[in-house]
Amino acid sequence: MQTVSVRRGLLLGALLSSLASGCSGASDEGSPGPNGSAGSGQAGAAGASTLPSAGAGALLVLLLLHIELSVVALIGIILLIGIVKKNGIMMVDFAIQAEREQGLSPHDAIRQACLLRFRPIMMTTMAALLGALPLALGRGTGSELRQPLGYTMVGGLIVSQAMTLFTTPVVYLYLDQFSLWLKRRRANPRSPHPRDEPQAETV
């Protein structure tokens, strides 16, 4: 019973930390770019789009290998949050900087970010992936305790790396359109309904 409560606490902590990291970026709006980008708030929200794929990859590996979702596996999922969210923020920050300094459109800026930040993202992911392989493939005393940590990190990193370059640009463009829609709403308040306007008296 105590182990189940610890698992629930760690899983709840992982979810709260991911939500807090996304909300902290969203609360800090920063200075808008020339095309109306939302600044660091957009970076935080778009960077958090990498978290579902990482969590799904980790749980999928555990499901395929028939490994229990233990406390150690939950620790691996928590470690994934920082790694994969950094990859997304690295890409989005570069796109926002390109919008501000080069005057690019959001589509061209995020495309350039994907091309130029692919190598640093791949290097970070491969370093963490190769570091987790000994935990997943190791044998010996205590290996059954370390293997869930390695499997969750390997599975989450592979799926997240495969999906980040596709999902993050889509989320970034949708958030940019949403921020432009909000600015139009604020700039053009709701006009009064024709029924509410006083009608001219007919002679």
User: How far apart are the C-alpha atoms of 93 and 114, rounded to whole Å?
Assistant: 11
Q: Flag whether 21 is in a domain.
A: no
List of residues 6+ apart from 38 with CB closer than 8 A:
29, 30, 32, 175, 176, 179
Q: What is the pLDDT of residue 38?
A: 46
Angle subtended by helix axes 51-64 and 143-187, to nearest 10: 150
**Based on the structure, what is the number of domains in the chain?**
1
In a domain, 34, yes or no: no
> Of the ranges 81-95, 123-137, 187-201, which one carries the lowest mean pLDDT score?
187-201
CATH number assigned to the domain comprising residue 128: 1.20.1640.10
Does residue 33 belong to any structural domain of this protein?
no
Is 133 a residue whose pLDDT tops 60? yes
pLDDT tens, position by position, 29-54: 344 444 444 455 556 666 677 778 88
Exposure pattern of 53-64 as b/e (b: 16+ CB <10 Å)?
bbbebbbebbee
- Specify if 3 maps to a domain: no
- What is the pLDDT at residue 40? 53
**In the prediction, which pLDDT does 44 show?**
63
pLDDT band at 82 (very low <50, low <70, confident <90, very high): confident
Rounded Cα distance, 68 and 147, in Å: 11
pTM beyond cutoff 0.85:
no
Mean residue pLDDT of the chain comes to 74
* Alpha carbon distance 45, 60 (integer Å): 24
Residue pair 177/42 in contact by the 8 Å Cβ criterion: no
- For residue 153, the enclosing domain spans 44-178
